[in-house]
Structures are given as structure tokens and as C-alpha cells.
Amino acid sequence: MSNVEKSKETDNKFISVVIPTHNRANLIERAVNSVLEQTYPNFEINVISDGSSDNTGIVMEHLMKKDSRINYFSYSTAKGANYARNLGVDQSRYDFIAFLDDDDEWLPNKLEKQLQVFSDNEEIGIVCTAYINQHIDINRSTIFTPSAPLNSSKEILMRNCIGSTTTVMLKKELFSIVGKFDPKLKAMQDYDLWIRLCQVTKVGIVQVPSVNYYISHKNNQISHNTNRYIESVFYIENKYNDLFSKLNNSTFAD
């Protein structure tokens, strides 16, 4: 297939962007605008307000007047990011799903680069990207580049070789095979989903940093709650005991 043909094929794809949010009216506009500024225009944005009690709704009303591709869903009682993401997936109209956290932002060509990876290999069902860790408290940035091999069924059991939810795009059809985000998990919900996905599909990587991933101890981010992480580690180990046992016994199928 020529580059021109690949370009035409990519242009026919549509993406549903899912953004869960909770009481981050001061940040949600930055996240949404980073999608609106993408070089690839064929998308919808589903913002899911998980029981927000601030003025998130007012901010979203303003944004929806700005662009008809934005959809807003809200409910009064917070049920967690997993529930919000799953609702966003359920409301999505298109065949590709991309996730963005409300306190992060995409760089302009993220979606375009990811779609190109999908076009290059039809066996790929999930594409992650390198990203820039923006350490706000110490005014420092570092780059994380995923190391996931094309077949990550074993590698993902040893470590999260894919990275953050906010970098990933995947084919929506895969949710019907592996299920969605586990609502019982309070942390590591992305890693849990990656384990399942990597057993049924191939992984692609955009090597160029395409996301600003903001890290701050002042924002009460879930990633800083040690107890939740410890609980999640035990939960995941138990949930995928059969897979981990095969890996430890060197009987994992290639």
C-alpha cells in the first residue's frame, strides 16, 4: 500500500475520546482544548463528570458552544474513574477509543501518529505513546518511552510496559472480548486492562512523546496513595493467578 493510500485509509477512521473528570473545573478545559487542537479532526469527545460538585458543568457548557464534537455526561454521586471511563466507552459512537485524564494534555499530532501505527499493521489493537512526565512540584520533566514488544502477552505480566491510560488508543471491538475497566480496582486499573488486552491483540508504539503527563503531590493524585496500590497489586495477582503461574513455570504459550 502506498503512502497516499495509507493516508486516505487513515482519514476515514473516527475516534471517540473519553475524558473522566471529578472536581477539576480548573483543568478540564486544558485537557479538552488539547483534543480540539489535534491535527487529526475526525473525533468526538465524551467528557464524563463523576459526581463533580464544582463548576465543571459551567465550563463544559462553554466548551460545547465552542465545538459540536463535545459531549457531556454527568451524574450526582461519584462512582470512580473506572465507572466513568466505562460509561464513556458505552456512549462512544466510533470504532477507536482514546483515553485522556482531566489533568493531562495531548500534543497536537498524537491521534494522527497513533492512527498511522494502526494502518501500518492491522494485527495491532492497541497503540500507546511515549510521554513527558511533568513533575510540577520540582519543575522538572522526564520522558517515558514504552518498551512493549509487538506481542506483549508475557512482558505485560512482568511490568507495565505500555504506560498510562492517557496515552492509549485501542479498537473498541476489543472491549467485547476482554471486558472494560474493573470497577473494583482503586488503582492500577489501566495495568489490569492492559494485561487482558495483551493476551488477545498486538501492541504498537509511537516513539515520539505525544502527551504531557502532569505529576503533583499537591493534587491528591491516586498514584500517590500507597495503600490503594498495595491492595491493587494483591488483587491483580489473585485475579490473574493462572497467567502468572504459567509465566513462573515457563509454560506460557508463545
Annotated domain spans of the chain: 3-248
The pLDDT tens digits for 153-188 are 999 999 999 999 999 999 999 999 999 999 999 899
- The number of beta carbons lying within 10 Å of the beta carbon of residue 79 is 15
Other CB atoms within 10 Å distance of the CB of residue 245: 11
**What tens digit of pLDDT does each residue of 102-153 get?**
999 999 999 999 999 999 999 999 999 999 999 999 999 999 999 999 999 9
Confidence at residue 4, expressed as pLDDT on a 0 to 100 scale: 47
Strands ordered across the beta sheet of 124-129: 70-75, 43-50, 15-21, 96-99, 169-171, 124-129, 202-206
3-248 CATH pick, 3.30.1360.30, 3.30.70.141, 3.90.550.10, 3.40.50.300: 3.90.550.10
Rounded to whole angstroms, how far apart are CA atoms 81 and 224? 16
User: Please, are residues 45 and 106 in contact by the beta-carbon 8 Å criterion?
Assistant: no
Distance of CA 148 to the CA centre of its chain: 15
What's residue 221's pLDDT? Answer: 52
pTM given for the model? 0.91
Please give the pLDDT value at position 2.
Answer: 47
Q: Which residue has the cell 477512521?
A: 13
Distance between CA atoms of residues 62 and 41, nearest Å: 20
pLDDT value of residue 220: 53
Query: CA geometry: angle at 200 spanning 212 and 16, to 5°?
Result: 45
* pLDDT of amino acid 248: 74
Q: What is the pLDDT of residue 252?
A: 56
pLDDT, mean of residues 23-50: 98
pLDDT tens, position by position, 205-251:
999 999 999 998 765 555 557 888 999 999 999 999 999 998 877 65
Selected residue with higher pLDDT from 83 and 10:
83
